[in-house]
Structure 1
Amino acid sequence: MIGSAQAFVDILKTIQRCAKVDVPVLINGETGTGKELAARALHYAGPRRAGPFQALNCGAIPDLLVENELFGHVRGAYTDARGTQPGLVELASGGTLFLDEVDALSYKAQGALLRFIQDGTYRELGGGTDKRADVRVVSASNKSLEALARAGKFRQDLMYRLNTLIVDMPSLRERREDIPALVTYFLQASEKEFSLGSKHFHPQSITDIISYGWPGNIRELENFVRRAYLLTDGQVIFQSPDKSPDHCSNLSPAGDGPARRCNGAQQAIVPFSDAKRLAVDYFESSYIAQLLRTTGGNLSRAAQLAGKERRAFSRLVKKHGIIRSDF
């Protein structure tokens, strides 16, 4: 998890506090804010870190199969059940069960989950006896469970079982100062994956990226950076986010302004001083990454090429969270 914005630092502290207590946790947040990463951080920072981490996207499983996925089945439970299959609850025993999009569960599935959370027991489909599993349940939703409960679409008793502790993930709009570091990280990841050489964004593109609304949050940003990296032949990326997340706007390589401006509906007005600081942050992080890549991670040699003292250069590396071993 990458970031130094106060909203992000605060959520890391919340995760650390929640990890110490073995009770259910509900993670709220818009799509693409990193809810599963937060769930994994809760698991690996807590006392169950040595146990398994099992995840289920409740919105991606047909209602008829949810209980089968959670609790498993015995042979003969239904026509195609030719053998016994353990559910995720059993597989997660001693560890963490992460339920993403928990708001998508039907009322029937909610009742079965409630029973398990209440007493730790469940019954396989077709089974005749109750089984027990020691599991910590972490759930996530991009909708308000309280609002759904008031509307009669989510069991209130289950909501109170799931939200013993709550983690509210900040949107990318609430942590714009982390965007330069995230862009650098995703560019480095793309370079490693596709081996198309080192690339960086044009300063005007960075200004547009920082100002963009990012309704899809970090997932949308990652997708944009990967696409821009793949579609750019040279070292400088002349692309900016468009209102539509499915395509990019191209900037004129001659530097005479955008060939197509971003739609203002998705843009935020960033004060000049903030935009300048964030653009400088991006320049620093991408420049340092380029030097370390050139020197194979040799800090002294990179500092020498930059014309800076080793100690000052080391502070910049630390400031931007750059890991030398990645080079």
Structure 2
Amino acid sequence: MSGSHGHRRSPAGEAGGARAAPGADGDALAGFGLLGRSPAFIAATNLMRRFAQTSAHVLVQGETGTGKELVARAIHYLGDRRYKPFVPVNCGALPDNLMENELFGHARGAFTDARESQRGLIGGAEGGTLFLDEIECLSLKGQVALLRFLQDGHYRQLGGHGDLRADVRVIAASNQDFGELVRSGRFRQDLYYRLAIMAVDLPPLRRRGNDILLLIDHFLARFAREYGHPAPRLDAASVPVALAHPWPGNVRELENVVHRQFLLAEGDVVRLDAPIESPGAAAGGEAGSGWNIDFSGMDMKLAKAEVIARFERDYLEQAIALTRGNVSLAAQHAGKERRAFGKLLKKYGIDRNRFQV
């Protein structure tokens, strides 16, 4: 996918390593930013390897920050399509009125400014993989168009007079409950069944046990290389705190916390107790009481929205503070498009200039 559609830094911060040489061992998976030894993680990566040997469409499900794009890249680069394009697109960033044009392209003269034809994302992924992140954000009209393409590989460009065919594997990802989406009419059941022929659920970090410590060591070593510092060690007292924390933002949250504490560390020891107790980590459940939210009079949907809003505001402020007001870098660390990240800052009235040095 082109940069305008959010070629994002991956949750585990290993986007640059996603084209590591394919292989079946743990070292090869580490090249994709996938590290772990827990049974839940191993089960998910075993499924991923099996899916990589086919060309069937795949649905990757998991909470925010669990590494869905990393898995999509691994499926692509471990399979026969590895030498063809991998095109990621965030469906949440596709405006409804431009969705068909972005996905399918347009013919010359299709509209006033269409002086040349445009292939579209599907045409650009010919022979390879189209990764549709946040698939639940696709409009119902877009879902119909995508379903038709998945059924027979044919599509029609905007303003075109005939069908085109593309050999493209689609990997879709979502952090939503599809049962609820289908019941509420926000997602087509037939499209869900078409995508879920091969599905893999990524475990949240809180269910991965000592993988947390493995990832902390990995991030500390990586940041040491990036900043040209000696690799620090994790304070022993932080180990039980890290293992007990619910990590609502999963691997992405862990990466950001380790990054911040790495930069703040004095000497060769990194402590994680301070950021773990921060309000921004409270969206995962029990920790939410740290905000002292009065839920009385709220139904569950409204209460959930309030907790999420508090989490997003605190997360955004921490992200923009860490990068000293650099929106592009903060968006990259958050795994969001710059435009989408900027909209969130505006939504919560966060002025980046307050954080510039």
CA contact (8 A) 1:73 1:87 kept: yes
CA contact (8 A) 1:146 1:159 kept: no
Query: Unaligned regions of 5+ residues in structure 1, if any?
Result: 248-262, 268-327
CA distance in 2, matches of 1:179, 1:97: 30
CA distance in 1, matches of 2:80, 2:231: 41
Q: Pairwise mapping of residues 17-96 of structure 1 onto structure 2 (< 5 A)?
A: 17-96=50-129
- What displacement does 1:264 show? 6.4
CA distance in 2, matches of 1:9, 1:194: 31
Letter in 2 for 1:118: Q
Give the TM-score normalised by structure 2: 0.67
Query: Unaligned regions of 5+ residues in structure 2, if any?
Result: 1-33, 290-357
Secondary structure at 2:89's aligned position in 1?
strand
1:251-293, Cα deviation, whole Å (9 max, x unpaired): xxxxxxxxxxxx96279xxxxxxxxxxxxxxxxxxxxxxxxxx
- What displacement does 1:75 show? 2.8
- Structure 1 residues 179 and 123: alpha-carbon distance in aligned structure 2, compared to 1, 3 A threshold: same
Secondary structure at 1:8's aligned position in 2?
helix
Letter in 1 for 2:287: A
Which of residues 214, 233, 245 is equivalent to 2:247? 214
Tell me what 2:185 maps to. Answer: 152
Answer yes or no: is 1:162 the counterpart of 2:184. Answer: no
CA distance in 2, matches of 1:26, 1:74: 31
Answer yes or no: is 1:244 the counterpart of 2:244. Answer: no
CA distance in 2, matches of 1:239, 1:8: 24
Q: Pairwise mapping of residues 1-327 of structure 1 onto structure 2 (< 5 A)?
A: 1-240=34-273, 241-245=276-280, 265=287
Q: Which structure has the larger Rg?
A: 1
CA distance in 2, matches of 1:53, 1:111: 23
Secondary structure at 1:74's aligned position in 2?
coil
1:51-101, Cα deviation, whole Å (9 max, x unpaired): 211111101222222222211122332333332222111111111111111
CA contact (8 A) 2:55 2:169 kept: yes
CA distance in 2, matches of 1:224, 1:79: 49
CA distance in 1, matches of 2:288, 2:52: 36
- What displacement does 1:197 show? 3.2
CA contact (8 A) 1:73 1:84 kept: yes
CA distance in 2, matches of 1:264, 1:105: 32
Give the TM-score normalised by structure 1: 0.73
CA distance in 1, matches of 2:81, 2:271: 46
CA distance in 1, matches of 2:286, 2:164: 56
CA distance in 1, matches of 2:241, 2:150: 46
CA contact (8 A) 2:281 2:287 kept: no
CA distance in 1, matches of 2:203, 2:106: 39
Name the % identity: 50
User: How many residues of Structure 1 are paired with residues of Structure 2 in the alignment?
Assistant: 252
Give the aligned CA root-mean-square deviation in angstroms.
2.0
CA distance in 2, matches of 1:162, 1:246: 32
- Structure 1 residues 195 and 48: alpha-carbon distance in aligned structure 2, compared to 1, 3 A threshold: same
Secondary structure at 2:98's aligned position in 1?
helix
- Structure 1 residues 131 and 210: alpha-carbon distance in aligned structure 2, compared to 1, 3 A threshold: same
Q: Structure 1 runs of 4+ off > 3 angstroms? A: none
CA distance in 2, matches of 1:19, 1:74: 34
CA distance in 1, matches of 2:119, 2:225: 37
Secondary structure at 1:26's aligned position in 2?
strand
- What displacement does 1:243 show? 4.1
CA contact (8 A) 2:60 2:172 kept: yes
- Structure 1 residues 231 and 70: alpha-carbon distance in aligned structure 2, compared to 1, 3 A threshold: same
CA contact (8 A) 2:143 2:188 kept: yes
CA distance in 2, matches of 1:147, 1:11: 23
CA contact (8 A) 1:24 1:137 kept: yes
CA contact (8 A) 1:29 1:169 kept: yes
Letter in 1 for 2:122: V
CA distance in 2, matches of 1:74, 1:197: 55
Secondary structure at 1:82's aligned position in 2?
coil
- What displacement does 1:188 show? 1.1
1:206-255, Cα deviation, whole Å (9 max, x unpaired): 221111000000010001111111122322123321243379xxxxxxxx
CA contact (8 A) 1:59 1:101 kept: yes
